[in-house]
Amino acid sequence: GESVGLHLPTLSVQEGDNSIINCAYSNSASDYFIWYKQESGKGPQFIIDIRSNMDKRQGQRVTVLLNKTVKHLSLQIAATQPGDSAVYFCAEKAGNTPLVFGKGTRLSVIA
Amino acid sequence: GAGVSQTPSNKVTEKGKYVELRCDPISGHTALYWYRQSLGQGPEFLIYFQGTGAADDSGLPNDRFFAVRPEGSVSTLKIQRTERGDSAVYLCASSANGGYTGELFFGEGSRLTVL
């Protein structure tokens, strides 16, 4: 059978709908968080970041929400487009330490 | 070039062989990172260079893995006596700032397959 590692959480949304991708992080000392988008065969691409002294940050069509109480991060994509189909990773960093990536969520946009 | 360049894009080798993977960062970026990404997983940190020196090699899995950046620009990741478990995509990233700050710009990766 297939490895469990091949089964990424998947979110399927209709084109034009809003998408919400969630991430639970583990390190309560993390003070900086980033969302990356990775298309097939490419490296991760920066989308948006947020520092721990904020709970919300908006970009173009994207919003990141941070809830430090429950160690939860979410990425909201407005008016999802086919080009948004990719794997999305949250990443966290605590002080002067390397960026640590989560496992990823695959977003599929249905035209 | 405009972005981070990695070569080869694909490498197939046999168990026990030696492999070198090259990364050419964005011009002027002082910080360079190597990550490894297994199928269905997020990238895992291997090593970080600030200039020519390895500032943090805590992610290297064992002494078969080694990386250099002799002139503070191009970096080479070297893997000795490759094992099947080394099969993964090896990603390189660079940033303009040091100390793990600033946006990381990733290359497209080198896919290593060990038979």
Domains and CATH numbers, chain A: 4-110 (2.60.40.10)
B66 within some domain: yes
Domain membership of residue B63 as a residue range? 5-98
Least Cα distance to B29 among B7, B4, B61 occurs for: B4
Question: What would the pLDDT profile of A5-58 be if each residue is shown by its tens digit?
Answer: 346 799 999 999 999 999 999 899 999 999 999 999 999 999 999 999 999 999
Using the Cβ of A42 and the Cβ atoms of chain B, whether some distance falls under 8 Å is answered with yes
The per-residue pLDDT string of chain B (115 residues; one tens digit each, 9 = 90 and over) reads: 589 999 999 999 999 999 999 999 999 999 999 999 999 899 999 999 999 999 999 999 999 999 999 999 999 999 999 999 999 999 999 998 876 667 899 999 999 999 9
B106 within some domain: no
Partnered with residue B88 across adjacent β-strands are B112
Whichever domain contains B41, its CATH number is 2.60.40.10
**Contacts of residue B44 in chain A, CB cutoff 8 Å?**
101
In whole angstroms, give the CA distance from residue B8 to residue B91. Answer: 11
**Contacts of residue B107 in chain A, CB cutoff 8 Å?**
43
Q: Which residue in the set B35, B99, B104 is minimally distant from A96, CB to CB? A: B99
Top residue of B5, B24, B26, B35 to mutate, by most chain A CBs within 10 Å, is B35
In whole angstroms, give the CA distance from residue B114 to residue B6. Answer: 18
Least Cα distance to A104 among A85, A88, A86, A80 occurs for: A88
Q: Which residue in the set B45, B107, B108 is minimally distant from A99, CB to CB? A: B45
